[in-house]
Amino acid sequence: MDRSEPVAESPSLRPLPIASSILWTPHDVTAWAEADGGAFPIFVAQSALAAIHEHVGAGAGAASLGLLLGGVFEAPDNGGGYLVVERTMRLPWRVAGDNTKPVVHSALAAVQKELRKSGAQVVGWYHSHLFPYAGLSPNDADTHHALFEPWQIALVVVPREKPLGGLFRSSASDTWPGEPLPFYEWLDDDRSLLSNGRRVTDLPWQNYRTAEDTVPSDRLRAKRPHPGPPAVAPTVTPTAHVLFPDEPEEPPLPGRAWEGGARLAAPRAVRAATYVAGALLGAAGLGLLYRLVARPSAVALGAAAEVTSPSAPDRVDRVADTLALAVAAFDARARLFDHHQMGCPELGRGLVVLEEWWIAYNAARKQASALDSAHGARDRSLYSDIDAVERRFERSRCPRP
């Protein structure tokens, strides 16, 4: 499934995974939020929660951003729809401040090709900030309202000594950005269900409660988000620059919770594509687009050996997601080069970034050992993409960096 392409006529049938989940409710849940969470439940995979907090915990005081991937399903017993966040797509850049709309907009446009290949569906986005409350800022709410449908969710993390967080979905009410929703933490496997009836959790948020008897996971005990920016910021992925209008050309279209397989309205996807084309072919300010994807840090290149990191297939997925973004960024550079709006040095830098992420991907790929059919197909597709990039660079007649 894809955020902008047609999907199945109706959601897939799948039983509600309530028995293998933990229901979390905000301490100050409102009647509206409780009703909305019950009418269209949200399930977030434990591994996705861990991935989000790992990303946020590596931050340097700037906002961490990512997309939530999963699907919308229908319970066979009552026909009710529900949303599942199965994994995340970490965006390889950060935002200084809270102006998230241009970055999220450009990211959604850049990942379309990869989403079509993988069959993934965007069900929302996540964002961290250092505000003292667990809610969407006015800029966050504007980003969500402009770029996402009402059924999609926004997840916010506030990294501090006692972390806060929340899931949000837009409504006609003006207060929805401050009304976090209940949701289910979908346990990874039977090992999260202990013999004494207790359940292992990966959620550190202090503003949520549960009636279940829980214990923190090893990942949660080993890694907690930093309470704030460190004294000296580490050399992590630099902020990306974008070249998109801050305001959409038209208001968002109304949507239903699971209409048409819960996809984004086509006009918005067309508008995003128009922005990309304008950004690539415009004559002014083109330098802002060049660093869509940053070079992998030593942490990324050594992630395969990290003891507390996610499973090998999850690591492959994450590095593959970033590699796909690097391919999209090189394609953008190549189009600018073709229109004589970029020189060989800039095109060569794009190739270097791509090759470094290719090395990181292969390191994660080796740690994963044998791949299943889906990962194998994606591996072949990425290999084909890299081969196409190499051939395209050779046609440019630029010297190899």
Give CA–CA dist 196/70, Å, rounded. Answer: 31
Q: What is the DSSP letter of 193?
A: B
pLDDT of the residue at 391: 85
CATH number of the domain to which 180 belongs? 3.40.140.10
Handedness of CA 301, 321, 353, 106 (dihedral sign): negative
Share of the chain above pLDDT 70, in %: 72
Q: Do 300 and 210 reside in the same domain of the chain? A: no
**pLDDT tens, residue by residue, 234-269:** 333 333 333 232 333 333 333 333 333 333 333 344
- Whole domain around residue 125: which residue ranges? 12-222
* Residue 235 included in any domain: no
Q: Evaluate whether 171 touches 153 at the Cβ level (below 8 Å).
A: no
Question: Which of 145-154, 177-186, 289-298 is predicted least confidently?
Answer: 289-298
Span 129-137, mean pLDDT?
Answer: 85
Q: Do 25 and 93 reside in the same domain of the chain? A: yes
Give CA–CA dist 163/76, Å, rounded. Answer: 36
Q: Give φ, ψ of 389 to 5 degrees.
A: -65, -45
* Residue 267 included in any domain: no
* Residue 270 included in any domain: no
Short-list 116, 110, 119, 65, CA closest to 327:
110
- Map tokens 């207060």 to a residue: 175
pLDDT of the residue at 61: 57
pLDDT of the residue at 155: 97
Q: Are strands 122-128 and 63-74 parallel, antiparallel or unpaired?
A: antiparallel
* Residue 244 included in any domain: no
Short-list 72, 283, 244, 13, CA closest to 143:
244
pLDDT of the residue at 94: 64
Helices within 71-211 (DSSP H only): 101-110, 112-118, 138-147
DSSP notation for 222-291 = H----SS--SS----PPPP-----SS-SSPPPP--TTGGGT---HHHHHHHHHHHHHHHH-SSSGGGGTT
Tokens of 327: 């391919």
Q: Do 173 and 61 reside in the same domain of the chain? A: yes
Which of the two residues, 354 and 4, has the higher pLDDT score?
Answer: 354
Q: Do 202 and 292 reside in the same domain of the chain? A: no
Span 331-344, mean pLDDT?
Answer: 83
Q: Evaluate whether 104 touches 45 at the Cβ level (below 8 Å).
A: no
Question: Which of 97-101, 125-129, 241-245, 340-344 is predicted least confidently?
Answer: 241-245
**Domain boundary at 194, 222, 250, which?**
222
Q: Do 40 and 108 reside in the same domain of the chain? A: yes
pLDDT surpasses 60 at 3 = no
pLDDT of the residue at 368: 74
pLDDT surpasses 70 at 179 = yes
Q: Do 39 and 187 reside in the same domain of the chain? A: yes
Which of the two residues, 223 and 278, has the higher pLDDT score?
Answer: 223
* Residue 261 included in any domain: no
Span 323-333, mean pLDDT?
Answer: 81
Span 383-399, mean pLDDT?
Answer: 86
Which of the two residues, 54 and 123, has the higher pLDDT score?
Answer: 123
* Residue 4 included in any domain: no
* CA-to-CA separations, 299 to 42, 157, 225, 302, in angstroms, rounded: 32, 22, 17, 5
* Residue 276 included in any domain: no
Tokens of 164: 């806060």
The structural domain count of the chain equals: 2
Question: Going along 132-173, which residue ranges are E strands?
Answer: 153-158, 164-168
Residue 71's Cα: distance from chain center in Å? 14
Dmax over CA atoms of the chain, in Å, equals 67
Q: Do 189 and 307 reside in the same domain of the chain? A: no
Which of the two residues, 197 and 38, has the higher pLDDT score?
Answer: 38
Give CA–CA dist 244/273, Å, rounded. Answer: 11
Q: Do 195 and 104 reside in the same domain of the chain? A: yes
Span 381-387, mean pLDDT?
Answer: 83
Question: How many Cα atoms are found within 13 Å in the side-chain-facing hemisphere of 224?
Answer: 12
Question: How high does pLDDT run on average in the chain?
Answer: 74
Give CA–CA dist 392/337, Å, rounded. Answer: 11
pLDDT of the residue at 81: 92
**Domain boundary at 204, 222, 240, which?**
222
Q: Do 200 and 295 reside in the same domain of the chain? A: no
- Given pLDDT bands bounded at 50, 70 and 90, which one contains residue 52? very high
Residue 339's Cα: distance from chain center in Å? 32
Q: Do 187 and 306 reside in the same domain of the chain? A: no
**Domain boundary at 200, 222, 244, which?**
222
- Given pLDDT bands bounded at 50, 70 and 90, which one contains residue 162? confident
Q: Evaluate whether 82 touches 72 at the Cβ level (below 8 Å).
A: yes
Question: How many Cα atoms are found within 13 Å in the side-chain-facing hemisphere of 329?
Answer: 34
Which of the two residues, 126 and 387, has the higher pLDDT score?
Answer: 126
* Residue 380 included in any domain: yes
Residues contacting 352, CB < 8 A, separation 6+: 295, 401
Q: Do 74 and 166 reside in the same domain of the chain? A: yes
**pLDDT tens, residue by residue, 266-321:** 334 433 433 443 443 333 333 333 334 445 544 444 443 343 345 667 778 878 88
Share of the chain above pLDDT 90, in %: 27
Q: Do 288 and 215 reside in the same domain of the chain? A: no
pLDDT of the residue at 4: 38
